[in-house]
Amino acid sequence: MFLAKVSIKRPVMATMGIMVFLIFGILAFISLNLDLMPDVKIPYVTVQTVYPGAGPKEIETLISKRIEDAVSTVSQIERVESYSLDGVSIVIIEFKSSKDVDVANQEVKDKVDQIINVLPTDAMKPIVQKVDFRAFAIVDVVLSGDLDPRQLYEIADKTLKDRFSQISGVANVNITGGQEREVRVVLDNRLVYENMISLPQLMQTLALNNMDIPGGYFKIGDQEYTVRLKGQFDNVETMKELQVPTAFGPKKLSQFADVQDAGKDIRQRSVYYDLKNDFRNENVVRLGIVKSPEGNVVDVADAIKQALPEIRSTLPEGVNIEIINDRSEFVRSTVEDTMSNIILGVLFTSLVLLIFLANIRSTFIVALTMPISIISTFLLLQVAGLTLNMMTLMGLSVSVGVLVANSVVVLENIFRHKHLGLNNKDASYVGTTEVMVAVLASTLTNLVVFLPIAAMTSIVGQFLRELALAASFATIFSLIYSFTLTPMLSSLILPKAEFTSKLGQKINEFYKTWDEYYRRQLIGVLKSKKRSLILIVGSFVLFILSAIYYGPKLGFEFMPQFDDGKVKIEVELPEGYNLNETASVLKSIEDKVKGHEEVEYLLTDLGKKSNLDIGTNMARMDVQLIDVFERNISLREIIAVFVKELSDVPNAKIVVDYASTMGAGGAPIQLFLLGQDLDKLEELKVSAMNELQGVPGLINLDQSSRSGKPEITVFPKREV
Is the pLDDT assigned to residue 483 strictly greater than 80? Answer: yes
Lowest-confidence range among 37-46, 404-413, 699-708?
Answer: 699-708
Average pLDDT over residues 287-292: 88
182-263 maps to CATH 1.10.10.10:
no
Fold exhibited by the domain 2-37+331-499 = Multidrug efflux transporter AcrB transmembrane fold (1.20.1640)
Among residues 586, 591, 594, 582, which one has the least CA distance to residue 569? 586
Spell out the residues 6+ positions from residue 218 whose beta carbon is closer than 8 angstroms to its own: 224, 225, 227
Expressed in percent and rounded to 5, the helix, strand and coil fractions of the chain are: 50, 20, 30
Is the pLDDT assigned to residue 302 strictly greater than 80? Answer: yes
Comparison of pLDDT for 134 and 402, the residue scoring more: 402
Is the pLDDT assigned to residue 2 strictly greater than 80? Answer: no
pLDDT category at 500 given cuts 50, 70, 90 is low
Q: Spell out where 474-588 has E strands.
A: 566-572
Query: CATH class for domain 137-180+266-326?
Result: alpha beta
> Taking the domain 566-692, which CATH number applies?
3.30.70.1430
Q: What is the pLDDT of residues 136-184, one digit of tens each?
A: 788 989 998 888 888 999 999 989 999 999 998 888 898 888 888 888 8
Q: Check: CB of residue 295 under 8 Å from CB of residue 171.
A: yes
Is the pLDDT assigned to residue 708 strictly greater than 70? Answer: no
pLDDT for 145: 86
**Amino acid letter, residue 564:** D
Is the pLDDT assigned to residue 133 strictly greater than 80? Answer: no
Shared fold status for 44-130 and 137-180+266-326: yes
Is the pLDDT assigned to residue 194 strictly greater than 80? Answer: yes
> How many C-alpha atoms does 502 have within 13 Å on its Cβ side?
0
> Taking the domain 44-130, which CATH number applies?
3.30.70.1430
Q: Check: CB of residue 95 under 8 Å from CB of residue 76.
A: yes
Average pLDDT over residues 357-370: 80
Average pLDDT over residues 58-78: 91
Q: Where are the domains of the chain?
A: 2-37+331-499, 44-130, 137-180+266-326, 182-263, 566-692
Q: Quote the pTM value.
A: 0.75
Q: What is the DSSP letter of 160?
A: I
